[in-house]
Each structure stands twice: as structure tokens, then as C-alpha cells.
Amino acid sequence: MSGSTTSGADARHRVVIIGSGFGGLFGAKALKRSDVDVTMVAKTTHHLFQPLLYQVATGILSEGEIAPPTREILSGQKNARVLLGEVTEIDLENRLVFSHVLRRQTVTEYDTLLVAAGASQSYFGNDHFAEFAPGMKSIDDALELRGRIFGAFELAELGAQRGEDIDHLLTFVVVGAGPTGVEMAGQIAELAHRTLKRDFHYINTRHARVILADAADQVLPPFGERLGASSKKELEKLGVEVMLGAMVTGVDERGLEVKYRNGRTERIEAVTKMWAAGVQANPLGRTLSEQTGAPLDRAGRIRVNSDLTLPGHPEVFVVGDMISLDNLPGVAQVAIQGAKYAAKEIDHRLADKPPQEPFHYFDKGSMAIISRFRAVAMVGKLRLTGVIAWLMWLAVHLVYITGFKNRVTAVLHWFVSFLGRGRSERTSTEQQIFARNALAKLDRGAADLVSDPSGEAHMDAEESRRVELEEKAREEARLTDRGERGVPVEQRAG
Ligand SMILES: Cc1cc2nc3c(=O)[nH]c(=O)nc-3n(C[C@H](O)[C@H](O)[C@H](O)COP(=O)(O)OP(=O)(O)OC[C@H]3O[C@@H](n4cnc5c(N)ncnc54)[C@H](O)[C@@H]3O)c2cc1C
């Protein structure tokens, strides 16, 4: 076990940040000039730009373009260090954060804690759906979906060549008609109807069915009725079948079942399914709730004070997708603005300045892309659709992609995909498609595949390897000294 320990009168104030997403990264950066030591503990080595995950899944962008290494981003920030590890426990009384990676535990002490661990997919109590319908929350999810989507076309080509039924392979179902679901359905439709149409011999990819299913009766509810209706029309023009009022009640390897409001059920044969229907705040919220009494809402978000701290713990800030405060939406700006507010409050306290006013979210607007040249946007009272909204989407995403190089390469990829037909990031491997479910079959996931870092097993293996190597060397020397190399056994002396 290792831990960071800074103590004594001259020790600098220690800020520990959990998560390297929008809240975590922007919080760390906002503390660049502060008189503090920042330690960011995150379970991935990258900062993920989640809004563009669907472009990785559909072959437009590479994973590196939307997930630059956090260590590199913060390399110029002298007061920040990065620790890899999944936080499993937070001890508020003793101000300790426990994290693990491949059986290695790290304990990190803090004076102020900023929790920005985000949210994960919610299957509304049907977690077994996940095996066949991955969500869209991580690079692993996007690469798995990429493999499944392009793989389905390949299997359909093989099946068609053999004269088999391939409808289930050429049917793609996206569950959830929020921004992620709409973007994903639009892109799969573009792939099938435009990008891939000349690449296969035995199948006509334009015959692929792309279905967007949602239990609610509106597309893009957060964008209001008018933009929702126009998005639905745009999707239908692209060839997406929009099934509303259709609740998914079962998912298996070969397809899924939906139940309509009138009680009618329908089975859809579809090998490729994607889940974009709900979110559940990070389970660390429960640990924090149990220790502070702050309530959790139905999505597991923790109720924070108006200054984003926890009751009785002014040294603990929680920001982003984990919080429940004034019905704030789960969007990047809530996390970014919350993290900047927390950083400023830390500065105020260190300078003995009075506290800030309560946190106030400034809504800069929302947008969702439907297809190339088509998007919807909401900025204040303004409602935009079509090319103008799409250009706005382009500009905003360019500003927020991290790193100059990533911005340049993203623009090049967009040129190739939107003006041309190409998708240069179609590579997928068997591991990407099957690794998630294979790891889930192990008790402790990847940790079951590594040796114990305490070293006992390692020492045993080392010792037996040494004995083996010494024996081998003795045998080699004996063969040479006795001139037995190349001599048949029966002709050897003795
Ligand atoms: C597919 C998709 C599309 C989206 N599109 C948009 C959009 O267009 N516009 C918009 O504004 N918002 C969008 N969002 C929402 C936006 O990405 C989130 O609101 C935002 O990322 C929240 O920031 P956060 O810091 O709270 O969490 P995240 O950015 O999710 O960061 C959480 C971090 O915590 C880490 N972590 C999690 N658990 C642990 C643990 N136990 N220990 C250590 N580290 C941990 C994660 O690895 C990650 O680094 C989208 C989200 C998704 C999934």
C-alpha cells in the first residue's frame, strides 16, 4: 500500500480531484496559479470528450482525438500530478481517498476534495441488457460499438454470399431518443445509405434498417416540442425509423422486445443494439450520502449545498453529473462552471476572503447534430435548425476539443467524412468487440489477470525460472564439453 503524505506547518494545502472528465480537468486547470498541490485521481489515463464518442463509434474520428492523455495536458502545470486509479472509498472523517488499479491500492490524503466522477449508463434495473446493448460512455464502449456496427455489415456480406437470411444483421437499433441516441442513429443511417453503399458486393447497405426507439413520445425532449418534431422529420428523411412510445422490455443476442403504450408487444430481430436511454450518477455518490446524510435522487445524484459542498463538510465539493441542484442538466458546462467555482472558492478561503455568492449556472445553449449539415440548437430564446445550427455545432466543438493538434486533425476528418464519403477510422479488432463481456466473466475483471504486486507469487515464479535457466545452462555446457551435439543418443559415449 502506498499513500501521499504531506504534513507539518509548511505543507501546502492539498487538493485532491476525483475524475479527469470535464469537472476534474477544468478544476485542476483553474487551480494552476493557486498556492496548492493538486492531485488528480482518475480511473483512465485520458480526458474524455464524451460529446464526440459517437463519431469514434461510427468511424469518423480516432479515439486519440477525443481522449488526450491527462498527464500530457497537465504536464506544464507545476502544482498538479496525476494518479491512475479507481476510487473505491472516501473516508470523510480522516480525509482519505482510497484508489485501486490492478490490485494496487493507493491512499491519498487531502485538505480539500473535489469529486467529479460523472455518471454511467442506466439500464433502469435491467443491467443484463448491457451484455448485448452497450452504452456510450467510454472509449471502450465506442470502440466496441464501432466493431459491432462494421462487423455486422461484414457478417451480412458473408451471409448473403451463402444465401442466408441477413435481415437481423442489417438492422440496427438505438434505444433512447436523447441527443446521443439521435446523433448515433443519424450517423449509422449515413454510414449505411451513403458511406458504405459501394463497398460490398452481395449486400445493398442502403437496405439496412436503422431504428431509434424510445418509451417517451418525443425526440430530444430537452430541446422542446418544436425542435423535437423537426429533428424527428430530419431523421425520417435520412431513413431512420423513429419508434416512439416503445418501451424496451427485453434484449438478447439476436434482438429485442418492445412494448407499446396500448399493450402491444413487438420483437425486432437485430444483432446490433446500442443503449442511450438513461444515466446513473457515479456510485461514489452513495458513499458520500451515507457519510453526510445528503439525499440521493432517483438517478443517484447527490444533493449539494448551494456552494456545491456537502452538508457538514465545507472541504468537500461535488460537481458535474453527480449533483442534484436546482434541476441542473447533465451537460459539460455544468461540470466546467461548477469546477471553476469550486477552485475559486478554494482560493478565497486560502486568502481569507469572504465566500462567493451561491453557484449560479450560466446556460450557454445546447445543440445536437442529426446528420451532415443538419443540427438543432437552442441558445437563450433562439431556436435554430439546419445548416446554421450545424455550423454553430462545428465551431463550438472545435473550441472545446482539447489540444491544437486534435483540433486540426478533427477538422481534416470532418472534411473527409462530411464533404466526401470517407470514414478513415474504421479499424476494429476482435478484442474490442468481445473484451468487455470476457472481462465481465472474471470475478474482479482485469485484476484477475495480473499477479499479486505484494511480490510473493512473483518471487516464486522468479525462483523457479532461475532454477530452470541454471539447469538449461548446465545441460548446454555438458553437451558441448562431451561433444554430444548432433550425435544420436545411441552413439553417445556412456
Ligand atoms: C455520449 C455523450 C454525449 C454527450 N454530449 C454532450 C453534448 O453534446 N453537450 C454537453 O454539454 N454534454 C454532453 N454530454 C454530457 C457531458 O459529457 C457530461 O455532462 C460531462 O462529461 C460531465 O462532466 P463530469 O466531470 O461530471 O463527468 P465526466 O466528464 O464523465 O468525468 C468523470 C471522470 O471520472 C472518472 N471516474 C469515474 N469513476 C471514477 C472512480 N471511481 N475513480 C476515479 N475516477 C473515476 C472518469 O474516468 C472520468 O474521468 C454527453 C455525454 C455523453 C455520454
> What is the number of the ligand 1 atom nearest to the C-alpha of 339?
25
Cβ of 402 closer than 6 Å to ligand 1, yes or no, is no
Q: What is the pLDDT of residues 473-488, one digit of tens each?
A: 888 888 888 888 887 7
Protein residue closest via CA to atom 50 of ligand 1: 51
In a domain, 72, yes or no: no
Residues 118, 141 share a domain? no
Q: What is the DSSP letter of 129?
A: G
Let me know if 229 is exposed, middle or buried by CB neighbors in 10 A (0-12, 13-18, 19+): middle
User: How many A from CA of 146 to the centre of ligand 1?
Assistant: 20
What CA–CA distance (Å, rounded) separates 25 from 426? 29
Task: Please report the atom of ligand 1 found closest to the CA of residue 330.
Answer: 19
Span 240-252, pLDDT tens digits? 999 999 999 999 9
Ligand 1 proximity of 205 Cβ (cutoff 6 Å): no
Query: 205 and 139, same structural domain?
Result: yes
Residue 116 CA to ligand 1 centre (angstroms): 8
Q: How far is the CA of 357 from the centre of ligand 1 (A)?
A: 26
Q: Which of ligand 1's atoms lies nearest the C-alpha of 24?
A: 25
Residues 203, 132 share a domain: yes
The pLDDT value given to residue 424 = 87
Q: Is residue 7 part of a domain?
A: yes
Does 484 participate in catalysis according to the annotation? no
Do 232 and 295 lie in a common domain? no
CA gap 353, 348 in Å, rounded: 5
What CATH number did the domain enclosing 101 receive? 3.50.50.60
Do 335 and 382 share a domain, yes or no? no
Q: Beta strands 313-318 and 240-244: pairing type? A: unpaired
The three three-digit cell numbers of residue 419, written as one number: 464533404
Which ligand 1 atom is the nearest neighbour of the CA of 283? 41
Q: Which helix (H) or strand (E) holds 84?
A: strand 80-84
The pLDDT, as a whole number, for residue 8 is 46
Which of 65, 183, 234, 345 is catalytic? The answer is 183
Q: How many domains does the chain have?
A: 3
Ligand 1 closest atom vs CA 54: 1
d(CA 166, CA 156): 5
Nearest-CA residue for ligand 1 atom 27 is 118
| Closest C-alpha residue for ligand 1 atom 5 | 51
- Give the domain extent around 438: 429-469
Looking at the structure, tell me whether residues 102 and 212 fall in a common domain. Answer: no
Q: Is residue 19 part of a domain?
A: yes
Residue 70 belongs to some domain of the structure: no
Q: Do 216 and 94 share a structural domain?
A: no
- Examine the domain organization and report whether 98 and 133 are in the same domain: no
Q: Is the Cβ atom of 146 under 6 angstroms away from ligand 1?
A: no
Let me know whether 204 and 316 are in one domain.
no
Cα of 61 vs centre of ligand 1, distance in Å, is 18
Dist. CA 299 → ligand 1 center (Å): 15
Between CA 369 and CA 390 the distance in angstroms is 7
For residue 409, how far is its CA from the centre of ligand 1 (angstroms)?
23
Q: Are residues 155 and 183 in the same domain?
A: yes
314 is a domain residue? yes
Helical spans, DSSP H, in 87-223: 139-161, 179-190
442 found inside a domain: yes
How many other C-beta atoms are found inside a 10 Å radius of the C-beta of residue 306?
Answer: 11
Which of 22, 26, 102 to probe ligand 1 with, by most ligand atoms within 8 A of CB? 22
pLDDT of residue 2: 42
Do 142 and 272 lie in one domain? The reply is yes
Whether 487 is in a domain gets the answer no
- Residue 271 sits in a domain whose CATH number is 3.50.50.100
Our answer on whether the CB atom of 66 is closer than 6 Å to any ligand 1 atom is no
pLDDT of residue 463: 79
Q: Which residues pair with 246 in a beta bridge?
A: 260
What 3-state DSSP class applies to 266?
A: strand
**Residue 97 is placed in which grid cell?**
481517498
What are the pLDDT tens digits along the chain (494 aa)?
A: 344 444 445 589 999 999 999 999 999 999 999 999 999 999 999 999 999 999 999 999 999 999 999 999 999 999 999 999 999 999 999 999 999 999 899 999 999 999 999 999 999 999 999 999 999 999 999 999 999 999 999 999 999 999 999 999 999 999 999 999 999 999 999 999 999 999 999 999 999 999 999 999 999 998 999 999 999 999 999 999 999 999 999 999 999 999 999 999 999 999 999 999 989 999 999 999 999 999 999 999 999 999 999 999 999 999 999 999 999 999 999 999 999 999 999 999 999 999 999 999 999 999 999 988 899 999 998 999 999 999 999 888 888 887 888 888 988 888 888 888 888 899 999 999 999 999 999 988 898 898 877 766 666 667 788 888 888 888 888 888 888 888 776 776 65
pLDDT of residue 10: 59
For 309, phi then psi, to 5°, come to -100, 175
Question: What spacing in Å lies between the alpha carbon of 40 and ligand 1's midpoint?
Answer: 15
Same domain membership, residue 245 and residue 380: yes
According to DSSP, residue 267 is labeled E
pLDDT attached to residue 6: 41
231: in domain: yes
**Residue located nearest, by CA, to atom 30 of ligand 1:** 118
How far apart are the C-alpha atoms of 116 and 149, rounded to whole Å?
32
